[in-house]
Amino acid sequence: MSPNRHLTRGRDLARTAGDHAADMFAPLTLISRGLRRHAGWAKGRWQATPKERRGPTLLLAAAVLVGVFLLPHGPLLAVVALVGSAAWTGREPKAAADPASDPADAKLPALYAALTPYLTSPDDVCPLYRPDGSYQDAFAGWQFDAEGRLAALEIGYPAYFTDTEPGARNRIEQVVQGKAGRAREYRFDWDQECNKLQVTALAPLPQDVPAQTWVTTPGEIVLGFTDSQATQRMIPVVQDGGPGHQPPVIWRTGPRSAEPHLLALGSAGSGTSTLLRTVALQALAHGDLLVIDGAGTGEHACLVNRPGVHTVETSLHGALAALEWAAQETERRLAALNTARYRGEPAPADATRPLWLLLDHPTELTELAQAEGRPDPQELLEVPLRHGRAARVTVVVVDSVEAFDRISPTVRSAARARVVLGEVAGEELGRALGVPLEIAPAAQTPPGRGYARIGAQPPVRLQVPATVDPLDEEAPARQREAVIALLPHRDTRIEAPAPPMPQHQPQVPPAEPAAEGGRVELGKERIG
């Protein structure tokens, strides 16, 4: 017999003997594994038990053991029960914990540890949050998406936490957003009665909705789109993925509106001019426009000399003349409407056709007026703001969020419809919207993303449609063509050219035609 055959036979005999030994000691291995798991469970429960409750717990355990030993065959039954329980518990080896398979075990302990300094007190005899605690004690439920990111979480907190103070709540929201990821927005629903906080990660809003004709009634303006939970209304839209439906943010204007004027604030490049173009294209369908471009960037040059657009002013002198005419037009409309009601006649058409005053960064003109010693353009808005609803005059003011304090108190009090766009801090958001925001903004937001609050309603998320400047060559061609299709065509009438006007003396409509009730058009100023 060859040596190799001897080695192979010996190896097989050794393997067979090992298998027999493993089968012989398998019950002992099973029971020992179960006993170790029982000991680990008991140790964990003992560490989780508060120190003041450990004495009574030991006394109760001792009383149970004494009662068992006093029973007939009690010790034998106790040993059999312990062995059977250990065999059942240790029947399968414990799989190694894989953090990737369960994101809760990898992320929630860090969140629990980060919340512990803010939700614990040294005077609490039974703290819900402690350094050696477990997140299962404080978190009632959680949900992760397919990518392992936190989608929903219910957090319990002690009753002594000051959940009525905005500062304390903001600290907790910042901690949760920091551990869950600042790239997304989160809604925080505080249940102060049950001492629970519901955290929900919000899905991104669609950014590929171009400008188009919306299915609305006269007086309704689509500011953008929001979450489906924020509104019960859906409108058909056409976007890159094809036709569909989206939940809109509707701003209702007119004589029966409780929020007849709009104030929009934003950071640089946030899309406030895009919002103003969105409103302008919808307002031109049923009314006339008067545009004041205080920034002088030429963002609204596409509206120059368009039918229904009285004027587009970029200079201080032109803006003052246009706003003076708007104040006089408001008074004329009020007089015409009162006269028609007194006589029992229908209101004249020139007094009921909506007139829109769109102002982009008027605070820039305010500083210029103060430097030249001229009247503040915002002061000329007092009459349209106070009496605009009855006179069918709507004012839309767009400015920078840093210029909130420079906006006149009349504008801030009358403009009850608010929009804030761009990356704005939480305190500034609450100040601009008028109420604290229950949504934590993302670290980076795309253009046109923000929040809207119509009157006394709670704030909602907002994504403004992609209403780009059609004269901007860097904008996508498809979006530029969509805006051009919505612009009214130029007049085909051939008129004699008007004499050149001095730049320091803008054309002001005479008082006689205004008194006769005819529509007055201001001189058009081209933006070079």
Mention every residue, 6+ apart, whose C-beta is less than 8 A from residue 493.
Answer: none
Q: Is 101 annotated as a binding residue?
A: no
Q: Is 270 annotated as a binding residue?
A: yes
Report the 10 Å Cβ neighbour count for 455.
13
How far lies 120's CA from each of 12, 128, 155, 308, in Å? 63, 7, 14, 63
Q: How far apart are CA 181 and CA 444, in angstroms?
A: 12
373 sits in the region (left: phi over 0; alpha: psi -120 to 50; else beta) called left
Please give the full DSSP string across 206-218, using - where no structure is assigned: P---B-------T
β-bridge mates for residue 197, sequence order:
155, 190
- What are 227's two structure tokens? 């979450």
Q: Is 271 annotated as a binding residue?
A: yes
β-bridge mates for residue 201, sequence order:
186
Query: For strand 439-440 and strand 185-191, is the pairing parallel, antiparallel, or unpaired?
Result: antiparallel
CB-based burial label for 384 (10 Å; 0-12, 13-18, 19+): buried
Q: Is 273 annotated as a binding residue?
A: yes
Query: For strand 139-144 and strand 150-156, is the pairing parallel, antiparallel, or unpaired?
Result: antiparallel
Q: Element (H or E) spanning 292, and its range?
A: strand 288-293
Decide: helix, strand or coil at residue 128: coil
- Yes or no: say if 429 and 441 are a contact pair by the CB < 8 Å rule: yes
Bind-site residues for ATP: 266-273
**Binding site listing:** 266-273
